[in-house]
Chain A
Amino acid sequence: MVEDKEVYDVVMVGAGPAALTAAIYTCREDIKTVLYEKAVVGGLAAITDWVDNYPGFPEGIAGLDLAENLRKQAERFGADIRLGDVMDISAEGDYKKLVTTDGDVYARTVLLATGSDYKKLGIPGEQEYYARGVHYCATCDGAFYRDKRLVVVGGGNSAVQEALFLTRFTTHIDLLVRSDLRASEILQHELAKQKDKITVHLGVTTDEIVATDNKVTSVRGTDSAGQTVTYETDGVFIFIGLLPNTGFLQGKIDLDEVGMIKTDELLQTSMPGVFAAGDVRSGATMQIASAAGEGATAAMMIRKQLERVA
């Protein structure tokens, strides 16, 4: 009997800005809240060097500090953040059962806020030299490239932001952009200021990461004229977009064609009582401020749901 077990009002899967904001709201209303985080509390925001567009911080804020502030604020109201993974979710009558690394956990409602992770290129050399010359986290691994050359792949906000961060270590960066720069104007302006240190190559695909004696030495690509181009480098940082963390939801919850969670206008998923917010939700704008806003909305929808079933 589920009634014999400890049942939480809401279990949140993930502890990024969406879930932490939701937890601030639910905990302040004495809604018994547990969050499970398998990676970093604060999500991708925590591994972002600098956040300049989150409201309330006129000078910007380090992603790690923003994540820590959100965590502290949620915990101040009693959020129970557990370091562990959720592997499965199913409905059991009025309750949801979640299979976690702590064992089975039961909840009246669930918030899915698992966020997203960086995409891989899927090219030769990428997997073989992962963490030995191929990286996806500049704030983690950039320090190993003091006075070295780097290639950064991508043309969006993350790629440009992280390339700018890496300039504090490297002697030179080749930024390889498959089509055009998609980063915000302000980031492109910052990029232009670093033209002595960052060379932007537009219309260049990244085809292979080449190593010599087990060490990354260059990146091979193709330019817009179809010519093979080679960039000497000591390492490669890849930021080419995001993939939703929804593998454990396949066949359980309706996902869109790219694997993001479909919700209605109340942020409810195809499983009644299960809500989604933040980067993982179909239609998300992939902004920290949006994730926080959706987290607040989801918390209110969860409160209404709990009032309905009380």
Chain B
Amino acid sequence: MVKNITIFTTNTCAYCGMVKKWLGAKGYEYEEVNLDQNPERQKEAFEMSGVLSVPVTVVTRTDESKEVVVGYNLAKLAPAIA
């Protein structure tokens, strides 16, 4: 069961918009962390994902386990929220 979803984004990232659109179409709510507006949270995004890239989607389940998906990757996003 999904407890919450956080997406790290930037203003100009088209793939970020696709992740938000896809999650919205699936009926999931999410918290967005815009790294242009919150550059101090870049380190957090990097530590979660290991990459210097967005979008980074962090799915936290009710058992507190986390799944991190880098990019707009439906093959990984779909099982992460299942």
Taking CB atoms, residues of chain A closer than 8 Å to B13 are 47, 137, 139-140
Our pick among A67, A83, A140, A235 for the contact of B25 (Cβ within 8 Å) is A83
Contact B12 A62 (CB under 8 A): yes
Residues of B within 8 A of A133 (CB): 52
Q: How many residues of A contact B (CB 8 A)?
A: 30
| Residues 39-82 of chain B, each 1 if its beta carbon lies under 8 Å from chain A, else 0 | 10010001000111111000000000000001010100000000
Q: Specify which chain A residues have a CB less than 8 angstroms from the CB of B39 in the assembled complex.
A: 143, 146
Determine whether B15 belongs to the interface, using a CB cutoff of 8 Å to chain A: yes
| Alpha-carbon distance A85/B17, docked complex (angstroms) | 18
Q: For residue A39, give the distance in angstroms from its CB to the closest CB of chain B.
A: 7
Q: Are B70 and A131 in contact (CB under 8 A)?
A: yes
> Shortest Cβ distance from A244 into chain B, in angstroms?
20
A132 vs B47: C-alpha distance in the bound complex, in angstroms? 12
Known contacts: A64-B17, A83-B25, A139-B14. The answer to whether A40 contacts B54 by CB under 8 A is no
Q: Contacts A40-B72, A83-B21, A235-B52 given: A140-B42 contact, CB under 8 Å?
A: no
When C-beta atoms are compared, the residue in chain A nearest to B78 turns out to be A101
Cross-chain contact A144 with B53 (CB below 8 angstroms)? yes
CB B62 to nearest CB in A, in angstroms, measures: 26
- Interface status of B31 (Cβ within 8 A of chain A): no
Q: With a CB–CB cut-off of 8 A, which chain A residues contact B42? A: 143-144
Q: How far is the CB of A219 from chain B (nearest CB, A)?
A: 16
Residue of A nearest to B35 (CB): A143
Q: Which of A20-61 contact B (CB under 8 A)?
A: 38-42, 46-47, 49
Q: How far is the CB of A161 from chain B (nearest CB, A)?
A: 13
Sample of 19 A–B contacts (CB below 8 Å) = A39-B15, A40-B18, A46-B17, A47-B13, A47-B15, A63-B14, A67-B14, A131-B70, A132-B51, A135-B52, A135-B53, A137-B53, A140-B16, A141-B54, A142-B10, A142-B12, A143-B42, A144-B42, A235-B52
Q: What 19 new A-B contacts, CB under 8 Å, besides A38-B74, A139-B10?
A: A40-B18, A41-B21, A46-B14, A49-B12, A83-B21, A131-B52, A132-B50, A133-B52, A137-B15, A140-B10, A140-B12, A140-B13, A140-B14, A140-B16, A141-B53, A143-B39, A143-B42, A144-B53, A235-B52
Give residues in B with beta carbon < 8 Å to A: 10, 12-18, 21-22, 25, 35-36, 39, 42, 46, 50-55, 70, 72, 74
